């Protein structure tokens, strides 16, 4: 007796080179070659700005992609731009698409890479870097998991957050309503926003208890963290874009994902172990990672000076350093390495997600 067909979903991942923050021609060429714009759910980009408060390459890239998708009548694609390609990191876009399929039950396969997205409401600026932000992100992660069809948090391997930060204008807006902000330092607000967002991921995935997340622990209790969060702050939004990556039997196809927790910037053993858990005869589709200068001032028992440089932000040093370490592991430079890993694995470490494409 013939088995009934089942409906599954399939993910697709593409790495596309970028000659500038506005260069969307490579993605546009993919549309001409057959990729349906409406199937694209997210684009993670690395742009060659400084990754700090005044890095408008992120907004430039976002606007360029919004215009591209508007020409095709598509809205709602998650556009997460991370500034900073220090060292030899290559500016590029990682395009994530998904489609619905009808497969014979016998050939449905799985589990395979699953992708879900969500977007929160506008974050009141006086909530940035505080418990309210973490709770908002936690709700968004749960929504994105549902969008991906992932029920078990253990099946989630990476959660990418794009979160806002404070500018002088936003601080002034909070002042005008009689609310005090968590900090009046715009650069510091980036770290607080990333940290609160990461704790929101930890809460959603059951890695921390809600009672432990209070305003005073954000940015200070380094023992509280998510092992699968990656948060990047940008001036181009006032809400949160959330992308969940995991494995699900409701998805089909050759793509698979696993993750590592780097204990330090030179912890390649954890990365190799994660790669070994994936199919041996598979090609790398994408590598997503976070990096930060170890607040202890030490790496591998030796002193580092990333936090002593008053000319170049420590996050920029960390991106270059970890980018080089991972480039040596994978033999590629178009890696998505984002700086600032507050509450994203233990201090000085960082999460790494590896997506591979198995042989068909």
Quickly list DSSP for 32-68.
HHT--GGGEEEEEEEESS-SSTT-THHHHHHHHHHHH
Containing structural domain, residue 348: 258-358
Statement to judge: residues 140 and 96 lie in one domain: no
- The residue out of 253, 275, 302 marking a domain boundary is 253
User: pLDDT confidence of 108, banded at 50, 70, 90?
Assistant: low
Alpha carbon distance 67, 63 (integer Å) = 6
| Overall average pLDDT of the 341-360 stretch | 93
Count of residues for the chain? 360
User: pLDDT confidence of 5, banded at 50, 70, 90?
Assistant: low
Look at the chain and report how many structural domains it folds into.
3
Alpha carbon distance 189, 191 (integer Å) = 5
pLDDT value at 109 more than 70: no
Residue 82, CB-side half-sphere exposure with 13 Å CA sphere:
33
Question: Tell me: the pLDDT tens digits for 302-327?
Answer: 999 999 999 999 999 999 999 999 99
Statement to judge: residues 48 and 182 lie in one domain: no
User: pLDDT confidence of 31, banded at 50, 70, 90?
Assistant: very high
| 337, containing H or E segment | strand 336-339
Q: Tell me what pLDDT residue 208 has.
A: 97
Statement to judge: residues 82 and 124 lie in one domain: no
Statement to judge: residues 323 and 279 lie in one domain: yes
| Overall average pLDDT of the 78-104 stretch | 92
Q: Tell me what pLDDT residue 103 has.
A: 64
Statement to judge: residues 48 and 122 lie in one domain: no
Q: Tell me what pLDDT residue 101 has.
A: 86
Which CATH number belongs to the domain containing residue 206 in this structure? 3.30.1330.180
Q: Tell me what pLDDT residue 218 has.
A: 98
pLDDT value at 1 more than 70: no
Question: Tell me: the pLDDT tens digits for 199-229?
Answer: 999 999 999 999 999 999 999 999 999 999 9
Statement to judge: residues 297 and 238 lie in one domain: no
Q: What are phi and psi of 127, to 5 degrees?
A: -90, -10
| Overall average pLDDT of the 21-29 stretch | 98
Statement to judge: residues 71 and 138 lie in one domain: no
Statement to judge: residues 295 and 317 lie in one domain: yes
| Overall average pLDDT of the 123-132 stretch | 98
CA dihedral 271, 82, 317, 341 (to 10 degrees): -60
Active-site amino acid positions: 162, 232
Which CATH number belongs to the domain containing residue 10 in this structure? 3.30.1330.170
Q: Tell me what pLDDT residue 110 has.
A: 74
| Overall average pLDDT of the 232-237 stretch | 91
Query: Which residues are 83's β-sheet partners?
Result: 47
Statement to judge: residues 277 and 198 lie in one domain: no
| Binding-site annotation, residues for substrate | 58, 82-83, 194, 232-233, 319, 338-339
Q: What is the mean pLDDT of the chain?
A: 95
pLDDT value at 3 more than 90: no
Alpha carbon distance 160, 163 (integer Å) = 10
Statement to judge: residues 263 and 319 lie in one domain: yes
| Binding-site annotation, residues | 58, 82-83, 194, 232-233, 319, 338-339
Statement to judge: residues 33 and 138 lie in one domain: no
- The residue out of 253, 286, 321 marking a domain boundary is 253
- The residue out of 56, 77, 103 marking a domain boundary is 103
Q: Tell me what pLDDT residue 106 has.
A: 42
Which CATH number belongs to the domain containing residue 279 in this structure? 3.30.1330.160
Statement to judge: residues 186 and 280 lie in one domain: no
In the sheet where 40-47 sits, what is the strand order? 78-83, 40-47, 92-104, 5-17, 251-252
CB 68 within 8 A of CB 26: no
């Amino acid at each position: 007796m013939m088995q009934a067909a089942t409906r599954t979903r399939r993910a697709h991942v593409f790495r596309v080179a970028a000659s500038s923050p506005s260069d969307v021609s490579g993605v546009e060429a993919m549309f001409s070659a057959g990729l349906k714009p409406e199937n694209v759910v997210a684009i993670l980009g690395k742009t060659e700005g400084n990754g700090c408060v005044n890095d408008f390459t992120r907004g430039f890239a976002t606007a360029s992609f919004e215009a591209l998708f508007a020409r095709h009548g598509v809205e709602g694609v998650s556009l997460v731009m991370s500034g900073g390609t220090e060292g030899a990191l290559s500016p590029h876009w990682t395009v994530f698409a998904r489609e619905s399929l009808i497969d014979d039950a016998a050939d449905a396969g799985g589990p395979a890479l699953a992708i879900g997205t969500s977007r929160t409401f506008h974050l009141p600026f006086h909530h940035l870097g505080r418990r309210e932000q973490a709770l908002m992100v936690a709700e968004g992660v749960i929504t994105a998991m549902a969008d991906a069809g992932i029920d078990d948090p253990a099946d989630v391997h990476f959660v990418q957050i794009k979160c806002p930060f404070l500018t002088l204008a936003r601080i002034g807006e909070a002042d005008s309503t009689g609310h005090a902000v968590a900090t009046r330092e715009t650069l510091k607000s980036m770290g607080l926003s990333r940290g609160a967002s990461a704790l929101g991921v930890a809460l959603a995935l059951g890695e921390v208890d809600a009672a432990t997340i209070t305003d005073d622990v954000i940015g200070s209790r380094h023992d509280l963290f998510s092992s699968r969060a990656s948060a990047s702050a940008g001036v181009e939004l006032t809400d949160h874009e959330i992308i969940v990556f995991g494995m699900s039997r409701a998805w089909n196809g050759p793509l698979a994902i696993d993750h590592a927790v780097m204990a330090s910037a030179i912890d390649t053993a954890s990365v190799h172990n994660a790669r070994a858990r994936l199919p041996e005869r598979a090609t790398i589709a994408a590598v997503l990672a976070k990096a930060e200068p170890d607040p202890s001032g030490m790496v591998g028992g030796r002193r580092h000076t990333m936090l002593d440089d008053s000319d170049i932000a420590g996050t920029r040093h960390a991106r270059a350093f970890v980018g080089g370490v991972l480039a040596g592991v994978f033999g590629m430079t178009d890696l998505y390495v984002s700086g600032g890993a507050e509450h994203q694995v233990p201090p000085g470490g960082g999460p790494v997600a590896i997506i591979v494409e198995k042989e068909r």
